[in-house]
Amino acid sequence: MTKNLVLRLIVAVFGIPALIAICLSGGYYLLGFCILLAGLGGLELGLMLKKRGYRASLFFSILLPVAFVFAAFYNYPIIYVLFYSFFLTTLLIIIDYSRAGDPDLSPFLGDMFGRFLPAVYLGLLASTIINLGSLPDIGGLILLLVFMVVWATDSAAYLGGKTIGKHKLSTSLSPNKTWEGFCSGFLGAALAAVVAKLWFLDISWPKILVISLTACFWGQLGDLFESAIKRHCRVKDSSEIIPGHGGVLDRFDSFLFAVPTVYIIAIYWR
């Protein structure tokens, strides 16, 4: 057994029960988890963008995503935080360019992207975790379902890709992923839905299957999105903060993309 596999197992032994407890407890436990996810994820993203040459601010890469999380927890309108983030980002980047005195504005939009992306990617998406987990009665249970779907999708996609994978999904974004692995992920998601339905989540079969398959689809797109960012920034992992797993973004990229669509389904399909 390799050292990396041992580290992954140790993290799983302690991490999975902790995430289950957070989903079921909600409240300040969920808030603390989302602050860590948004803050550390924002730091990782800011460091990657700076390495690629963008004028990313590490301070605001942490602050703005965390502000979205607090706004969601205390029911402050997210749209206001989005506007404030945009205007603050624009103001700071204009000040930077004015001080530099550099007439070359060709990287201006790229630098705006580097400053604003953490707020949208980490802040806006992480805030929906708070929204979903705060739904009365079943919010925490649906959040747990999303975790199960993401884990099952990752495992099934990996096994499917390794055993029967032949056709590349996207060589430019993630060369190791295959269409066979992508489709296998849906089988894992369906299995997670069955387990959740029989074990703890009392909602209709059509609803739980739609939620699970939707989370599977968007979760895999989230994985591809983060892979694209890493390839653009020329890094292998977003960081090494989680032993054996890489960074926070490496571990929760799929979850961040899956939760918003599940939240929409949960609030409109009663």
pLDDT at residue 137, as a whole number? 87
Q: Which two tokens stand for residue 115?
A: 């400053």
Q: Which two tokens stand for residue 261?
A: 């669509």
pLDDT tens for each residue of 45-93:
999 999 998 888 899 999 999 999 999 999 999 989 999 998 988 888 8
Q: Are 193 and 216 in contact (CB under 8 A)?
A: no
Q: Which two tokens stand for residue 222?
A: 């989230």
Which H helix or E strand runs over 170?
A: strand 168-170
User: 90: how many CB neighbours lie within 10 A of its CB?
Assistant: 13
Q: Which two tokens stand for residue 24?
A: 């079921």
Q: Are 93 and 119 in contact (CB under 8 A)?
A: no
- Which tops the pLDDT comparison, 230 or 175? 230
Mean pLDDT within 264-269: 92
Q: What are phi and psi of 102, to 5 degrees?
A: -90, 120
pLDDT at residue 4, as a whole number? 64
The model's pTM: 0.91
pLDDT at residue 240, as a whole number? 85
Maximum distance among all Cα pairs of the chain, rounded to whole angstroms: 64
